[in-house]
Amino acid sequence: MKKNELINKTLAGLMIAAMTAGVCPTTAFAVTGGQVAKDGTYKATAHVTRTEEDSDDEWDEYDVEVSLTVADGKFTDITVTPASSYDSGNDKYFNKAYNKTKGIKTLLEGKEATADTVNSWDSVSGATRTSKAVKEAAAAAIAKAEEKTTAVEVNIEKLQAAITKAEALEEADYTADSWSAMQSALIAAKDAATKKESQDAVDTAEKNLTTAVANLKKAEVKVDTTALEAAITNAEALKEADYTADSWKAMQTALTEAKSALEAKESQEKVNAAEAKLTKAIEDLKKNAVAKEVYVLMNIPYDKFYAAEGDDDVDAVTSATKQKTRNSGLTAGSYHVNSDGTDITGVVYPVKVSDISALENYTKITDESKVDITVSGKGGEQTKTYEGKDALFESASYSYYILSEAPSYYKEATVNEDGTLSFGKVEGTAVKTLSNVTADFRTSSRYGDYQINLSGLPDDITTVYGVVVGTKEGSNYGMRHLENIWRISELAWSTGFVTTAHGSPLQYKDYVNMMGQTINKITYYTNAGVYEIPVDIKVPVKFNGSVEVKDGKASDGSVSATVEGLPKDYAAEYSVDGLSDVKFENGKLTFAAEQARGGRYTLTVSDKSEKYAS
């Protein structure tokens, strides 16, 4: 072939290629870039064109058709077919571009069906003209594809539940109009569930059906409830205390169902069934065996608890903190009535009751009872749930929990003529004497006017229900949780001089008479039993007096001082640590000057008779 013919042929080939590219059909929604093609087969043709570098007789130009098969967003088959003008002498170049190691079929099959994937395939060395045409045809083929659509997931779970609920209803129970409206909504709902066109359509159908079910109007039914009402009246007249727990619970369940059936009046059949079930439950009630004695845990107010122990005027604790009173770790053994934490009302203690019917007007705590108590502390708010007998911690006075066995210690309850309860002394356990316990007595305290710290109490004491301080003069003083009893071993009380502690008022009137008496025993009522601690503590009398000493020179041997408010029978005795010959007369405090050195000294004024506090 001559040179000018080759040039003309080449130009013609270029024009054909240009025309082919220009007329390649593309859709308005053809994939581009990384868009994944819709499943299908896409074909396009391109021309393999010679260039000036090719020899005249090396090979002839020809067309190639590329077929791209897409499934599940991947190229699953790529076929390149030469036109009829193809000469087998071109197989070497054709196969390199088609199915050899770097061929389009070898490298692109299995990859995402995108234009980017096609464009990522490079021309094959040694088959540049063929691979260029194959790539052009592949690009034209993928350009014909529409983008793969993503299936929309539609959740019909709520719709199906609404359909199931509607299908379970009975037409006879409702008015014709409301039933017809519901059926129309049901048909539409089933259609939406089948088509699953969109989530909005499904949700709308569910909403419409649910509304239609809610709007169903009961058909008027004439029902005779005479027998059911009589059974309910009969059941409500019975007393729980007369029957076993299981049989009573079964009857109460039937009673609740009977009341619901009476209110609904859905049908004579349902009313009759409810009446029959309740009547049977009443017949099946089992009488409680008559117990000679019943033991309970009971909330006993302080004055009632201590009355038999010699002190019947112990009031409840009033608290301003409202946190510690509701913290069982600090007030174990006590209970409170007010949920706001403003009081500690009394003691939770075992009680023997001769007739359980005496408690029918009081709150019964069972294993199913529970109360949540939230307190605030350094770590923020904390909520604790008290269940079963522990729920007595926040419950009314005289609330009770029936014990399954007799306790080792208890108080016996007596029903008075006016129906109130009183309680005897602690029984069932011998009082144990603790002779090895030591008492540290103080006439000043942050918690009152006097304080006793006890050492050597038994380790098995974890809960203190009450403490009675007795004197040889025959008086007994009941102590209360938090205000008087602190962390088991510390006791403190006020006689009217220190009147507040931690912002809460201290009740002192009950303890004023203790001043001047001698404490000879302290009785502890605990989880481990009753203990008596023998002591010999003279409680000195406090008074409102004042002492003031002016500054002076040590070498003078005297300073001005004022002592006021001493009782008439106060036998004053003056002492200063580090000084001798201390005397007070006519507003002068004198001492041995030769011992005095510059510094501060403390004057102590004490009563020789030890009747009064220093």
In tens, the pLDDT along 87-124 reads 887 888 888 888 888 888 898 999 999 999 999 988 77
Other Cβ atoms closer than 10 A to 540: 19
Cβ(144)–Cβ(68) under 8 Å? no
Amino acid in position 57: D
Region 526-546: what's the mean pLDDT?
94
- Cβ neighbors of 516 (< 8 A, separation 6 or more) are 539, 540, 541, 611
pLDDT, average across residues 28-52: 86
Task: Give the mean pLDDT of 568-589.
Answer: 90
Q: What pLDDT does 29 receive?
A: 65
Angle at 491 between CA 486 and CA 494, to 5 degrees: 110
Fold (topology level) of 40-143: Sufe protein. Chain: A (3.90.1010)
Q: Is pLDDT of 488 > 70?
A: yes
pLDDT band at residue 341, thresholds of 50, 70 and 90? confident
Query: Averaged over 151-157, what is the pLDDT?
Result: 83
Chain centre distance of CA 306: 39
Which pLDDT value is given to residue 21?
A: 35
Three-state DSSP at 112 gives strand
Using DSSP's 3-state secondary structure scheme, residue 210 falls into: helix
CA-based nearest residue to 525, from 460, 468, 485:
468
What's the pLDDT band for 7 if we cut at 50, 70, 90? very low
* CA separation for the pair 557, 548 (Å, rounded): 17
CA pair distance 14, 517, nearest whole angstrom: 129
Beta bridge partners of 442: 451
Q: pLDDT-derived band of residue 224, with 50, 70 and 90 as boundaries?
A: very high
Pairing of β 343-344 and β 432-433: unpaired
Nearest to 300 by CA among 525, 561, 459, 567: 525
Give the Cα separation of 519 and 449 in Å (integer): 15
- Alpha-carbon dihedral of residues 67, 73, 74, 79, nearest 10 degrees? -10
Q: Are 415 and 434 in contact (CB under 8 A)?
A: no
Mean pLDDT is highest, among 124-133, 171-180, 337-346, 515-524, for: 515-524
Instruction: Estimate the crossing angle of helix 91-98 against helix 128-142, to 10 degrees.
Output: 40
For the chain, give the percent of residues with pLDDT over 70: 91
DSSP track, 316-370: PEE-SSSSGGG-HHHHTTEEBS-TTS-EE-EEEEEEEES-GGGGTTSPBP-TT-E
Question: Are the CB atoms for 186 and 208 separated by under 8 Å?
Answer: no
316 pLDDT more than 60: no
Backbone dihedral region of 311: left (phi > 0), alpha (psi from -120 to 50 degrees) or beta?
beta
Selection from 98, 94, 13, 95 nearest residue 52 by Cα: 13
**With 70 as the cut, is the pLDDT of residue 32 above it?**
yes
Task: Answer whether residue 355 shows pLDDT above 90.
Answer: no
- Point out the least confidently predicted range of 305-314, 403-412, 505-514: 305-314
Pick from 132, 110, 107: which is nearest to 51 by CA? 132
Q: What is the pLDDT of residue 322?
A: 60
Q: Which residues pair with 67 in a beta bridge?
A: 43, 79
Residue of higher predicted confidence among 599 and 208: 208
The pLDDT confidence band at residue 9, using thresholds 50, 70 and 90, is very low
Domain at 432-539: CATH architecture? Sandwich (2.60)
